[in-house]
């Protein structure tokens, strides 16, 4: 790893100022960042650490029933915290399945959302990669290793988005709290992503001197069910091949008044299965509409020759996540 | 940035229960920050400078060269000089001669370097040594000694829970954490989950699980 200066602000304002001044990289748990630095994929001259900024690990139930999650909350805390388990059960479940206990003790919610793709071409400096400035994505080439690559929106870059928490939070309508030199802003997580561009490593549409400060999940306004499912190659300590967070709003007759179905690891950013959502709306929530929605979730897939199997996994993950929701997890306060 | 010479700044204050109590009001600050930005735009240059000076007080920097730090490892204060890029794993092994934690993948993927930071398992390869200052580091050497073994260490011997031994220090730290967490109620599923992030290429897992359960039950 290249030598760097460790900048330790004690406040968010000071952190933002330090980022603007040094052009450094944001450091919190360091799980993903240090990996990239060891591989010389990233070589920042400064790390601006958030470890000395107090209060970033707050979890609070708001008066209106929304849930405020500090960006520094660890995945272990998300998995174990009573407020999260009770009101955001699909999030607690996704966090508890991520990585390993030792990583969950360190990895933060903000870092989970800001982490870079696990695409091997991106993470090994000697390979060329569109996100790191090359003209073309080697995954898409005839010789590309494509097993874990994206099956939706996979041109010009076929990297898969790694976060399993992002689809869940997006399905819950989460807002990202961001702070930069011009102050704080709030952006819908659904609108926080940007499509891959040549030379742009990150998937979040944030400026280099902006920080994620919090994630706020709004209160539910109607009865709802939530679910989460991920499919992995190994039973534990593995990245999801496909992950899926769902939220289904029901009217008084048990019909679906609204549905949110978001997939992870299938596109360069979290992927909204709009056709699946449409297939559920207005239907009595049950096995048949779930099967139809799961089938519809594969619409628009453009798998590569090496990952057609992932399209089938999309159907499986959506069906299981919706079935979990049907079976019970209500989620949300009030 | 200039190298810091001792006496150096104390570690920043750790979160206390009082901090938790004030968190709701901190959130209030977050919500008000947008308005603060608007008023900042109205401030004159002098105020802006004063504000920048205040911000400067809120930052300290370390490195990129050697930084003297004091690590608290296995209950002892140990002074070392490290660069910010030095991982806790390197500091333990190369500066403090505590070679229990093993460097294998050094990418948070194998668990051979598992230690405790403030009593929780972490991979020492993905923690910077400078971050560990002011925190409690426990390695397999601090858990017990050959003549006075921790129950998990003794159970590993009794259950023959190692083959080549390279994953063992990490396995022991992960199991000891699970025993600390769950006590005598530790289930096999919990033990399995506890060592999910510790890879053993020899395939000793069944013995490891037996050892964890034996230690938990105090046999």
Structure ipTM: 0.95
Tell me the shortest Cα–Cα distance from A309 to chain B, in angstroms.
Answer: 26
Q: Residue B60's closest CA among A20, A46, A1?
A: A46
A272: enclosing H helix or E strand: strand A271-272
* Across A3-7, average pLDDT: 98
Task: Out of B64, B120, B174, name the one closest to residue A5 (CB).
Answer: B64
If phi over 0 gives left and psi between -120 and 50 gives alpha, with beta otherwise, what is residue A7?
Answer: beta
Which residues are bridge partners to B62 per DSSP? A6
B40: enclosing H helix or E strand: helix B23-42
Distance of CA B168 to the CA centre of its chain: 18
Largest separation between any pair of C-alpha atoms in chain A: 62
Which residues are bridge partners to A186 per DSSP? A177
Chain A residue numbers with beta carbons less than 8 Å from the beta carbon of B194 are 101
A102/B114 Cβ within 8 A = yes
**Annotated domain spans of chain A:** 224-327
What number of helices (H) and strands (E) belong to chain B? 9, 6
CA atoms within 13 A on the CB side of A188: 6
Tell me the shortest Cα–Cα distance from A62 to chain B, in angstroms.
Answer: 9
CA–CA separation, B180 vs B157, rounded Å?
19
Distance of CA B68 to the CA centre of its chain: 19
Is residue B33 less than 8 Å (CB to CB) from chain A? Answer: yes
What residue ranges define each of the domains in chain B, with the CATH number in brackets?
17-57 (no CATH), 67-138 (3.10.20.30), 151-217 (1.10.150.120)
Give the whole-number percent of chain A exceeding pLDDT 70: 98
* Residue B3: how many other CB atoms lie within 10 Å: 12
Contact status, residue A30 vs residue A175, Cβ threshold 8 Å: no
Chain B residue numbers with beta carbons less than 8 Å from the beta carbon of A10 are 12, 58-59
Distance of CA B59 to the CA centre of its chain: 22
Q: Which residue of A lies nearest to B170 if distances are taken between CA atoms? A: A102
A106/B59 Cβ within 8 A = no
A10/B62 Cβ within 8 A = no
Contact status, residue A15 vs residue B60, Cβ threshold 8 Å: no
Tell me the shortest Cα–Cα distance from B134 to chain A, in angstroms.
Answer: 12
**Those residues with Cβ within 8 angstroms of residue B193's Cβ, 6 or more apart along the chain or in another chain:** A101, A236
Q: List per-block mean pLDDT (blocks of 10 residues) for chain B, which spans 219 residues.
A: 39 38 31 40 56 70 97 98 98 98 97 98 98 97 96 98 97 98 97 97 96 94
What radius of gyration, in Å, describes the C-alpha atoms of chain A?
19
pLDDT for the residue A121: 97
Contact status, residue A264 vs residue A255, Cβ threshold 8 Å: no
Q: Between residues A117 and A254, which one has the greater pLDDT?
A: A117
What radius of gyration, in Å, describes the C-alpha atoms of chain B?
22
B37/A184 Cβ within 8 A = yes
B23/A60 Cβ within 8 A = yes
**Whole-Å CA distances, A319 to A93, A227, A256, A288:** 17, 10, 15, 10
Q: Which of B121, B129, B172, B190 to mutate to test the interface with A (most CBs of A within 10 A)?
A: B121
Q: What angle do CA A96, B90, A9 make, to 5 degrees?
A: 65
pLDDT for the residue B56: 59
Angle at which helices B205-217 and B151-158 pack, to 10 degrees? 130
Q: How do beta strands A211-217 and A175-180 pair? A: antiparallel
A4/B64 Cβ within 8 A = yes
Q: What is the pLDDT of residues A130-153, one digit of tens each?
A: 999 999 999 999 999 999 999 999
B63/A68 Cβ within 8 A = no
Tell me the shortest Cα–Cα distance from B115 to chain A, in angstroms.
Answer: 9
Q: What is the pLDDT of residues B46-65, one digit of tens each?
A: 565 665 555 557 999 999 99
Q: Which residue of B lies nearest to A13 if distances are taken between CA atoms? A: B55
Token readout for B183 is: 């006590």
B85/A60 Cβ within 8 A = no
Q: Residue A189's closest CA among A147, A217, A149, A154?
A: A217
Q: Between residues B14 and A176, which one has the greater pLDDT?
A: A176
Fill in the DSSP letter of residue B91.
I
Q: How do beta strands A183-188 and A175-180 pair? A: antiparallel
pLDDT for the residue A277: 98
SS3 B35: helix
**Residue A179 pLDDT > 50, yes or no?**
yes
CA–CA separation, A203 vs B116, rounded Å?
33
First to last CA, chain A: 49
Q: Which of B23, B86, B125, B179 to mutate to test the interface with A (most CBs of A within 10 A)?
A: B23
Contact status, residue A276 vs residue A296, Cβ threshold 8 Å: yes
Residues in chain B, overall count: 219
pLDDT for the residue B51: 58
pLDDT for the residue B96: 98
Which B positions 114-143 lie with beta carbon below 8 A of chain A?
114, 117, 120-123, 126-128, 130-131
Tell me the shortest Cα–Cα distance from B12 to chain A, in angstroms.
Answer: 6
Contact status, residue A32 vs residue A39, Cβ threshold 8 Å: no
Chain A residue numbers with beta carbons less than 8 Å from the beta carbon of B179 are none
CB neighbour class for B135 (10 Å; exposed up to 12, middle 13-18, buried from 19): middle
pLDDT for the residue A221: 86
Which B positions 52-111 lie with beta carbon below 8 A of chain A?
52, 55-56, 58-65, 67, 83-85, 87, 106-108, 111
Return the CATH fold of A224-327: Enolase-like; domain 1 (3.30.390)
pLDDT band at residue A328, thresholds of 50, 70 and 90? Answer: confident
Q: What is the pLDDT of residues A225-277, one digit of tens each?
A: 999 999 999 989 999 999 999 999 999 998 999 999 999 999 999 999 999 99
Task: Out of A5, A38, A58, name the one closest to residue B107 (CB).
Answer: A38
CB neighbour class for B45 (10 Å; exposed up to 12, middle 13-18, buried from 19): exposed
Q: Which residue of A lies nearest to B32 if distances are taken between CA atoms? A: A184
pLDDT for the residue B32: 34
Chain A residue numbers with beta carbons less than 8 Å from the beta carbon of B16 are none
Chain A residue numbers with beta carbons less than 8 Å from the beta carbon of B106 are 38
A vs B: CB pairs below 8 A: 150
Q: Which of A58-62, A116-120, A295-299, B46-50 has the lowest mean pLDDT?
A: B46-50
**Whole-Å CA distances, A23 to A7, A20, A56, A220, B201:** 11, 6, 22, 39, 42
Instruction: Give chain A's mean pLDDT.
Output: 96
**Residue A318 pLDDT > 50, yes or no?**
yes
């Amino acid at each position: 790893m290249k030598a760097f200066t460790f900048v330790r602000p004690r406040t968010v304002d000071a952190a933002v100022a330090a980022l603007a001044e040094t052009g450094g990289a944001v450091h919190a748990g360091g799980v993903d960042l240090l990996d990239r630095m060891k591989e010389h994929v990233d070589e920042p001259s400064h790390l601006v650490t958030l470890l000395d900024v107090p209060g970033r690990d707050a979890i609070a139930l708001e008066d209106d029933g929304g849930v405020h999650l500090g960006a520094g909350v660890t995945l272990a805390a998300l998995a174990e915290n009573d407020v999260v388990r009770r009101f955001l059960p699909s999030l607690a479940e996704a966090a508890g399945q991520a990585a390993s206990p030792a990583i969950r003790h360190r990895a933060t919610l903000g870092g989970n959302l800001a982490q870079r793709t696990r695409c091997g071409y991106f993470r090994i400096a000697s390979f060329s990669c569109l996100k790191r400035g090359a003209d073309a994505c080697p995954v898409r080439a005839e010789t590309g290793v494509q097993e874990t690559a994206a099956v939706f929106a996979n041109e010009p870059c076929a990297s898969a988005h790694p976060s399993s928490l992002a689809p869940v939070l997006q399905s819950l309508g989460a807002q990202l709290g961001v702070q930069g030199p011009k102050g704080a802003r709030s952006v819908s997580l659904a609108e926080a992503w940007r499509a891959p561009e040549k030379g742009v490593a990150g998937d979040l549409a944030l400026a280099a001197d902006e920080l994620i400060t919090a994630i706020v999940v709004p209160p539910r306004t109607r009865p709802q069910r939530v679910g989460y499912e991920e499919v992995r190659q190994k039973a534990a300590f593995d990245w999801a091949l496909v992950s899926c967070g769902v939220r289904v709003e029901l009217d008084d007759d048990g019909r679906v008044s609204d549905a949110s179905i978001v997939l992870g690891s299938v596109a360069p950013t979290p992927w909204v299965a709009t056709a699946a959502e449409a297939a559920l709306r207005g239907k009595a929530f049950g096995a048949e509409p779930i099967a139809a929605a799961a089938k519809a979730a594969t619409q628009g897939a453009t798998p590569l020759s090496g990952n057609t199997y992932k399209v089938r996994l999309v159907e499986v993950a959506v069906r299981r996540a919706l079935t979990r929701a049907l079976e019970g997890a209500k989620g949300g306060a009030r | 940035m200039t190298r810091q010479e001792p006496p150096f700044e104390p570690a920043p204050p750790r979160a206390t229960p009082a901090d938790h109590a004030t968190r709701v009001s901190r959130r209030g600050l977050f919500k008000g920050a947008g308005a603060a930005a608007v008023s900042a735009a109205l401030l004159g240059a002098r105020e802006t400078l004063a504000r920048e000076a205040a911000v400067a007080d809120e930052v300290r920097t370390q490195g990129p060269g050697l930084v003297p730090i004091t690590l608290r490892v296995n209950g002892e204060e140990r002074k070392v000089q490290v660069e910010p890029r030095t991982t806790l794993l390197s500091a333990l092994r190369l500066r403090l001669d505590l070679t229990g934690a093993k460097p294998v993948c050094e990418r948070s993927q194998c668990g051979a370097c598992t230690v405790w930071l403030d009593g929780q398992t972490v991979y020492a390869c993905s923690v910077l040594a400078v971050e560990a200052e002011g925190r409690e580091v426990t390695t397999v050497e601090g858990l017990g000694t050959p003549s006075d073994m921790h129950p998990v260490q003794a159970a590993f011997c009794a259950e023959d829970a190692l083959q080549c031994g390279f994953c063992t220090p990490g396995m022991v730290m992960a199991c000891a954490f699970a025993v600390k967490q769950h006590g005598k109620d530790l289930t096999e599923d919990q033990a399995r989950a506890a060592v999910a992030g510790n890879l053993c290429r020899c395939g000793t897992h069944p013995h490891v699980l037996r050892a964890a359960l034996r230690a938990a039950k105090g046999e």
